[in-house]
Amino acid sequence: MKNALTVDLEDWYHICGVAACADPAGWDAFESRVAQNTDRVLALLRRHGARATFFVLGRIAEREPALVRAVAAEGHEVATHGHIHRRIYEMTPEEFEEDLLRSLDAIGSATGLPVVGHRAPEWSMRPHTLWALEILRRHGILYDSSMVPLTRMGSPGFPVNPGPVPTPSGDIFEFPLTAMRCFGENIPFTGGLALRLTPYFYILSKIRRMNREGLPAMVYFHPWELDPDPPRLPLPPARRFMTGFNLQGAASKLDGLMRHLAFVPVREFVPA
């Protein structure tokens, strides 16, 4: 049984909902650490023979095309994470489409390969933004990985398992955030802060149990989570916790999961 491994390829200051990082015009003032951190990700994957999907920010592909080419050259899938890291629910359908097309253009120019996958910044698909799926499908995107089946984020009505979702332009395959059932709630445990908080052996045994039931899990992380000395922004306490808690733990947990589980890009789960 194979699982999906995904990396949201963005820099340390691409944080939604923080005024100091919201305007792309100000991004050049921040130290760029994406190349060195992505090198760490590539080395980790190489060590385990794991292949992943990299959801790349269009703006990064524009500024660092050689980095994105290097990712593709190592056999990883390059997909889109939008252009300037805006949440779907903060855009109109027209703005979403424009942002998507800019990212597809930048990523396509960097790699010369078609892009068939999408993940929204901060898992920002909501029941009232499902119009985005039709726009994605119309522009050649075959799968999306932006739905979170949680009460506090996304929607508890979103699918828990991967599968097709109909749109007026044809079906799109959705691979939602992996969650486990606990006390009547869906709880995330395979990426970001949830992975850093959950004990390693618990994550591993939960994924193994899913695999025995014939279900793939999806693990996700960001290059900045492997940065041994990340710059700090003056963030509100909840945000500081989200971005800074137990970063050392992330690297060792990811290393262990890759040692014990087989990982492939999301594209390999999409029916031909």
- Provide the binding-site residues for Zn ion, judged by CB under 5 A: 8, 10, 121
Q: Angle 254-255-259 (CA atoms, 0-180°, nearest 5)?
A: 115
Shortest Cβ 111–Zn ion spacing (Å):
19
Closer Cβ to Zn ion, 87 or 167, answer by number? 87
- In 242-252, which positions are buried (b, 16+ CB within 10 angstroms) versus exposed (e)? ebeeebebbbe
In the complex, the smallest distance separating the C-beta of residue 16 from Zn ion, rounded to whole angstroms, is 7
| Euclidean distance between CA atoms 242 and 250, whole angstroms | 12
How far apart are the C-alpha atoms of 227 and 199, rounded to whole Å? 21
Return the number of the residue (121 or 176) whose C-beta is nearest Zn ion.
121
Nearer to Zn ion, 201 or 245 (CB): 245
Phi, psi angles (nearest 5°) of residue 53:
-100, 130
Percentage helix, strand, coil for the chain under 3-state DSSP, each rounded to 5: 45, 15, 40
Q: How far is CA 156 from CA 11, 177, 243, in A?
A: 30, 12, 24
Report the candidate in 148, 175, 8 with the shortest Cα–Cα distance to residue 79.
8
DSSP readout, 137-155? HHTT--EE----B-SSSB-
CB of 55 to Zn ion, least distance (A): 8
Of the pair 122, 174, the CB lying nearest Zn ion is at 122
Least distance to Zn ion from the beta carbon of 85, Å?
6
For Zn ion, the closer CB: 54 or 173 = 54
Half-sphere exposure of 47 (CA within 13 A, CB side): 13
Nearest to 145 by CA among 241, 224, 256, 220: 220
145 vs 167, which CB is nearer to Zn ion? 145
Closer residue to Zn ion (CB): 204 or 235:
235
Q: How far is the CB of 168 from Zn ion (least distance, A)?
A: 28
Neighbours of 49 (CB within 10 A): 10
- CB 197 to Zn ion: min, Å: 19
Q: How far is the CB of 214 from Zn ion (least distance, A)?
A: 30
